[in-house]
Amino acid sequence: MTTETLDRDDTIVDQRRSTRDVWMPRIVAGVLVIAALLWVAASNGFGPTTGAALMPVLGTAAIYAVAATGLNLQFGHGGLLNFGFVAFMAIGGYTTVILIPHIQGPQSEEFPGLVPLGVAVIVSMLIASLLGLLFAVPAIKLRSDYLAIVMIAVAEIIRLVLKNVEPLSGGVYGMLGYSGALQDLRPDFIRTLAKQLNVQAFQLWIVIVSVIALVICSVGIALLLKSPWGKLLRAVRDDEDAVRSLGKNPTTIKLQTLMIGGAIGGLGGSLLAFQLSQINPDVFLPQVTFFVFTVVIIGGMGTTWGPAVGGIVFWVLLTQSGAFISEHVGNNSAASALRYILVGVLMLVIITFRPQGLLGKKEDIVLDLK
């Protein structure tokens, strides 16, 4: 057997291994997504209420996936450990609602709104991106672990400000009565489709809008990362000093990453506000950040569609395990906490056996705490 033949055989083996490494994670992720949705359907006996049960799960999963797309850009692609990501969502949600007709405060005061919904969402994303610019100040000067602590503090400061500035945010009473702004844009065929699927038209519309937003954000980020800017971002994540030695400015890339990710987080917060139909400061607790982190880690850091897969798997596990525990253990605080334990166990399993997530690659795992 000649050396040339051996080299050719090695090449064939490498190609097969590469093909397997690409497709196996996708197949496993697809199976898990299908299994998660079947779990929801089975809990409703595969009956006529199955569609109605799936809608809020899919809607919330898509919304968290949108937010996770922004965090994935910052953390998965940029290596920026942002534990205050919920601040972007809070700013986005509150800005959108404040700018459109709504009711707020203890007296249920009516506010007519200032701009159409589309303009309000764009403004909310711009303001959230400016918050990313604010976050960039400590990001430039602090190492990753201290940066995470500072960002948690900033997020909590924003939540407490919203809680105490009642004339602007409605305080602890929050804001409601704004859902009609999104439903007014609903096409007529959605009602017909909702009847055929035996679901509520308003919930189906939220799911469709959230999925469209997720696709646009995912494709947009994927195209951005294929550009020279995306390659430079990866280089900054892997070795700032090397990038600086080539005459590039890592600070500018970090700033832009925080702003773009923040804008997407603001969009996620706006969608979450419409999903809930009312918001108050306690909607944006620190645990929301860790929900989004969980979605990123399950789906895979540095991936395009990881947030979508992670969003479905995580949200189904969280909601369905809660329902299962309430039914068999009881509806008390200890039983309610068990679902978070189950999610924690899932995270430990994934981190132990596949730390790159369902769709991720090992080379994309970067967490430099120096």
pLDDT in tens, 228-286: 999 899 888 888 888 888 788 888 888 899 999 999 999 999 999 999 999 999 999 99
Mean per-residue pLDDT over the chain, rounded: 85
For the beta sheet containing 109-111, the strands, ordered from the edge strand earlier in sequence to the opposite edge, are: 109-111, 102-104, 175-176, 278-279
Q: Tell me, yes or no, whether 34 lies in a domain.
A: no
Question: Which pTM does this prediction carry?
Answer: 0.90
pLDDT value, residue 57? 92
Q: Within its chain, how far is the Cα of 24 from the centroid?
A: 24
- Alpha-carbon distance 250 to 259, whole Å? 14
Q: Tell me, yes or no, whether 213 lies in a domain.
A: yes
The number of beta carbons lying within 10 Å of the beta carbon of residue 302 is 25
* Position 353 pLDDT exceeds 50: yes
Q: How many structural domains compose the chain?
A: 1
**249-258, 294-303, 327-336: least confident range:** 327-336
For 132-157, how does the pLDDT look when each residue is reduced to its tens digit (9 = 90+)?
A: 888 777 766 766 677 778 888 889 99
Q: Tell me, yes or no, whether 13 lies in a domain.
A: no
For 153-202, how does the pLDDT look when each residue is reduced to its tens digit (9 = 90+)?
A: 889 999 999 999 888 888 889 999 999 999 999 999 999 999 998 999 99
Q: Tell me, yes or no, whether 10 lies in a domain.
A: no
* Position 368 pLDDT exceeds 50: no
Q: Tell me, yes or no, whether 14 lies in a domain.
A: no
Burial zone of 193 (CB within 10 Å; 0-12 exposed, 13-18 middle, 19+ buried): middle
* Structural domain boundaries, residue 211: 59-364
Q: Tell me, yes or no, whether 263 lies in a domain.
A: yes
How confident is residue 291, by pLDDT bands cut at 50, 70 and 90?
Answer: very high
- Alpha-carbon distance 9 to 6, whole Å? 5
Q: Tell me, yes or no, whether 45 lies in a domain.
A: no
Q: Tell me, yes or no, whether 27 lies in a domain.
A: no
- Alpha-carbon distance 80 to 211, whole Å? 26
3-state DSSP of the chain:
CCHHHHHHHHHHHHHHHHHHHHHHHHHHHHHHHHHHHHHHHHHCCCCCCHHHHHHHHHHHHHHHHHHHHHHHHHHHHCCCCCCCCHHHHHHHHHHHHHHCCEEECCCCEEECCCCCHHHHHHHHHHHHHHHHHHHHHHHHHCCHHHHHHHHHHHHHHHHHHHHHCHHHHCHHHCEECCCHHHHCCCCHHHHHHHHHHCCCHHHHHHHHHHHHHHHHHHHHHHHHHHCHHHHHHHHHHHCHHHHHHCCCCHHHHHHHHHHHHHHHHHHHHHHHHHHHCEECHHHHCHHHHHHHHHHHHHHCCCCCCHHHHHHHHHHHHHHHHHHHHHHHCCCCHHHHHHHHHHHHHHHHHHHHHCCCCCCCCHHHCCCCCC
pLDDT value, residue 332? 62
